[in-house]
Chain A
Amino acid sequence: MTTPSTRRRLAYGRWTPFWFLAPAVLALFLIGIWPTLFALVTSLRRYNITRPRDGFPFIGLDNYVQVLTDPTFWDTLGRTAGFFLVVMPIQVALGLAIALMLHRPGLGMLRSLARVSLVVPLATTYAVVGLLGRLIFNRDFGVANALIGLFGFPPIDWLGNPTGAFVAICVMDIWQWTPFCALIFLSGLSMVPVDIEEAARLETPSKWALFWQVQRPYLLPGFTAMLILRSADVLKLFDMVFTMTRGGPGAATELISIYIQRVGFRVFDMGLASAQALLLLVITVVLARVYIRFFYREIEA
């Protein structure tokens, strides 16, 4: 077993990987890590930039204590988790259904049209999605009420009541991100070698067996990526909700990042906001680690 390693040693020098990696590492270090460290230090201080006269004294872990004992923080975190648990399964299910439809042979023209159309929601500016949501879900002149009216439902005051507003932001998020899931699943499906898929189709008439035994393994890595990216994005979700409801009515759509923005850029308590955001980062990293452990072994192997 010496041959491969000797060959590798011949192929490149010890420092070669370093030179390839250095620029990216350096760049992320300077513009990513440095500010994060700054935030870490800030989180240990009383740091309100609207009280410059008080100075920015170190106060140990007070900010973290305040975050952990702040019911609003937990409320918003719970609401964010709830939001994720509502939208994610729907996006995965719809995305998978769409991907399977797009993968199914036949109807070439319509299929490619539908595939291309998936790009539209993805490319729509998040802030504009929120504005659009305000127009669509308006009680008086919104098209949502006109559409449910066709089925005989009375108009709903979507953005004026807590449940309605929560549903409305879910709908807009599902609209925007289902195509993302569909595209990833579609790419997974098209990775299944054609001969294997054909053979399986001949062997079993059951679509379910085909999906579960042949296609599923090819979908898992993409599925993991989707979970990781979507969890991170939901925890960061700000623009769309901010332009659509600003967290209201009451606190019905106040997700965690809306709350942190409020603490950070309204009250300007940057120490507290930094502590909140860093805790959020820890949650995201832990989640990503968990997903990778369960679904995405390749990279570790």
Chain B
Amino acid sequence: MEEILKVPTMAELSASDKLPEVLFWVGCAGSFDDRAKKITKAFVKILHKAKVDFGVLGTEETCTGDPAKRAGNEFLFMMQAMQNIEVLNAYEVKKIVTTCPHCFNTLANEYPELGGKYEVLHHTQFINQLLEDGRLSIEGGAFKGKKITYHDPCYLGRANGVYEAPRELIQKLDGELVEMRRCKSNALCCGAGGAQMFKEPEAGNKDINIERTEEALETKPDYIAAACPFCNTMMTDGVKNSDREGSLPVLDLAEMIIQAEDL
């Protein structure tokens, strides 16, 4: 397959007494979903480029419990959370970065009360930190002057007020950010949240991702930027149902950065 990435697990690192600066929480989509795995790998490349000392939990990671909690299954959420917290605390994790806004929200907001207190960052925030600290630099490259519309993930934007970090990255890529009619706190959901990803939608007259994709298309973009593996799937499906199929890539910001850098 592709080149082999060097991704140390926490188990390996702790065996040699080397606890990393940050834990990369990959998440279920990032681990198993073919599309999301590309985002995971893109982010790993960025971590390598910036020489970030990181580790993953590997087979010791398990679902944060987010979809169970949103579906109403507090028992299952609580069991997942307590298992994860036990593992994270055993490795003395202080800082977590994740490419999934759902994992981000759960880890940052719902774990502290249960004994899991970490500094949690979404990868768009983390990449901005790397840029600020001079550990990473990006050039526009392929995205220079391109029209990029950004879809706010609910669990990053409205849920946690992170609107600017992803947009700053688009500016760093020298892209032309074109906002949709509904953006930031007014953004329309992609339709996947609240465990909707795992079920058919209720009867209606339209799928939510189609509605959202149409809004994105109104901006006549060259790219749709996403910051969540689930939004990515929903928007990709939306584009497939439009006349822009094949000519409008839906990319995670991490993927855009490595494409620009040709990593």
Partners in one complex: no
